[in-house]
Amino acid sequence: MPRVVNISDLRRVAEANLPRAVFDYIDGGAEAEVTLRENCRAFEEVTFRPRNAVAVETTDLRTTVFGAELSMPLLLAPVGFTRLICPRGEVRAAEAAAKAQIAYVLTTISGSAIEDVAQASKGCRWYQLYLVGGREAAEAALGRASAAGFSVLAITIDTGTFGLRERDIRNGAGALIGDNLLRKLRFLPQVLAHPLWLAGFLRDGRMLVLPNVIVPGRGPLPLAETQASLAKSVVTWEDFRWIRKVWPGPIVVKGVLTGEDARRSLDEGAAGVVVSNHGGRQLDGVAATLRALPEVVKAVGGQAEVFLDGGIRRGSDIVKAICLGARAVLIGRAYVYGLGAAGEAGVARAIQILRADLQRTLALLGSKSISELNRSYIDVPAIWASEPRPKT
């Protein structure tokens, strides 16, 4: 892919390759998409303070996350219905992550079974939990994930109800994943205009069930029931007690945007938090994650790992997040655009772009190692300094 120089190039190729409704499902955010845009814009507001006249021949990007060594501080975020984008999408992405020695996070609402992902990828793997299908289905999935070598559990806490994704509603995207063929007819023109995608989708043929949500006495949950089930089964702090009993490894809370939720996560036994607003897909109007990061880092006070996702499109964005205290970052759209552009090779390309960006940014900053980065390498706008808030 010689013409693909950055993640926006991958996005353009994905847009050309995918039916409109599938592309919008990936690309879109909630309501007016203010938070979606802000996530990216916040990175532009932070500027670098390089140490020049320093020779940097090699750069060390390695880091460890809960004892696992990663070649760079990057994880592929959980993305629901990845199989809609590319045949066996979760397996392909996990393979690309393992080859690049970074971590992969498998969503509950995956079209690929936990065991299939584990078999294809021996790399560092986390499992992300939604309570879709209820508590018994979740317990069964956690047992399978742990047995299959998923080492960390990420619990997503920002889906109390569905964000209003206006593009999906206009496109009627719900019907895409349902099993009502008549309702799918509306997609015929856009699908026929993308015969390669259609051939892959039909060949894959496993889109209509969620193999990791086995409802006791019923088998895998049909995709069409996901929305209703998700809306009824929000994860609450009360759930953490039983989850801790059934999950033996570290727990990371995904969807933390305030110091209060960060401290509550620690109280509930979390070993890490992900500063995340679900890529601007849930509550529109919440702050960009980069802006929320310093408050969370301060509240955590070094007692847990802090991760960040949302808006990362360049390696320099990763450097800025690390300078503000993140241990590592997760990317969602950046790799999913790659998946839509060229399957596993596209994911590999996204990772390669970010790795080269990281190496170059470190060298230009005059730093040899990711572990040297700190707040002194960046300036943040004065307006970011937060006013003291009343205690809640």
Ligand X SMILES: Cc1cc2nc3c(=O)[nH]c(=O)nc-3n(C[C@H](O)[C@H](O)[C@H](O)COP(=O)(O)O)c2cc1C
Residues 273, 262: contact at Cβ < 8 Å? yes
Residue 132's alpha-carbon distances to 129, 235, 286, 310, 373, in angstroms, are 9, 9, 25, 23, 39
User: Residue 375 and residue 349: Cα distance in Å, rounded?
Assistant: 30
Strands 74-76 and 328-331: parallel
Interaction between residue 39 and ligand X (CB under 6 A): yes
Interface pick for ligand X out of 78, 87, 211, 346 (rule CB under 6 A): 78
Interface pick for ligand X out of 20, 88, 254, 314 (rule CB under 6 A): 254
Interaction between residue 111 and ligand X (CB under 6 A): no
Interaction between residue 73 and ligand X (CB under 6 A): no
**Nearest-5° angle of CA 307, CA 81, CA 177?**
150
Q: Least separation, in Å, of the C-beta of 277 and ligand X?
A: 8
Part in contact with ligand X (CB under 6 A); list of ranges 89-97, 174-182, 233-241, 304-312: 304-312
User: Residue 63 and residue 34: Cα distance in Å, rounded?
Assistant: 33
Interface pick for ligand X out of 73, 111, 250, 279 (rule CB under 6 A): 279
Pick the catalytic residue: 88, 264, 278, 355?
278
Residue 337's alpha-carbon distances to 103, 349, 350, 381, in angstroms, are 18, 10, 8, 31
Interaction between residue 117 and ligand X (CB under 6 A): no
Q: 289 or 361: whose CB is closer to ligand X?
A: 289
Interaction between residue 19 and ligand X (CB under 6 A): no
Interface pick for ligand X out of 156, 212, 233, 361 (rule CB under 6 A): 156
Q: Least separation, in Å, of the C-beta of 133 and ligand X?
A: 14
278 assigned to active site: yes
Interaction between residue 233 and ligand X (CB under 6 A): no
Q: Least separation, in Å, of the C-beta of 162 and ligand X?
A: 12
Residue 120 makes CB contacts below 8 A (sequence gap 6+) with 91, 94, 95, 98
How far is Cα of residue 19 from the mean position of the Cα atoms in its chain?
A: 22
Alpha helices per DSSP H over the chain? 7-17, 20-27, 34-45, 89-99, 114-120, 135-147, 166-171, 174-177, 181-184, 188-192, 195-204, 226-232, 239-246, 259-267, 289-300, 315-323, 333-365
Part in contact with ligand X (CB under 6 A); list of ranges 67-75, 233-241, 271-279, 348-356: 271-279
Site string for ligand X, 121-140 (x = CB under 6 A): -------x------------
- What is the residue-wise DSSP string for 57-123? ---B--EEETTEEESSSEEEPP-TTGGGTSTTHHHHHHHHHHHTT-EEEE-SS-SS-HHHHHHH--S
Part in contact with ligand X (CB under 6 A); list of ranges 115-123, 171-179, 217-225, 278-286: 278-286
Q: Least separation, in Å, of the C-beta of 27 and ligand X?
A: 8
Tally Cβ neighbours within 10 Å of residue 136. Answer: 12
Q: What residues from 327 to 346 belong to the interface with ligand X (CB under 6 A)?
A: 331-334, 336
Helix (H, G, I), strand (E, B) or coil at 39: helix
User: Residue 33 and residue 26: Cα distance in Å, rounded?
Assistant: 13
Interface pick for ligand X out of 113, 213, 304, 312 (rule CB under 6 A): 312
Interaction between residue 109 and ligand X (CB under 6 A): yes
Number of residues that bind ligand X (CB under 6 A): 25
Q: What residues from 158 to 217 belong to the interface with ligand X (CB under 6 A)?
A: none
Quick one: tokens of 96? 């690309």
Residues 77, 330: contact at Cβ < 8 Å? yes
Q: 84 or 304: whose CB is closer to ligand X?
A: 84
Interface pick for ligand X out of 311, 338, 343, 346 (rule CB under 6 A): 311
Q: Which residue is nearest to ligand X (CB)?
A: 332
Binding site for ligand X (CB under 6 A): 25-26, 39, 77-80, 107, 109, 128, 156, 254, 276, 278-279, 281, 309-312, 331-334, 336
- Residues noted as catalytic: 278
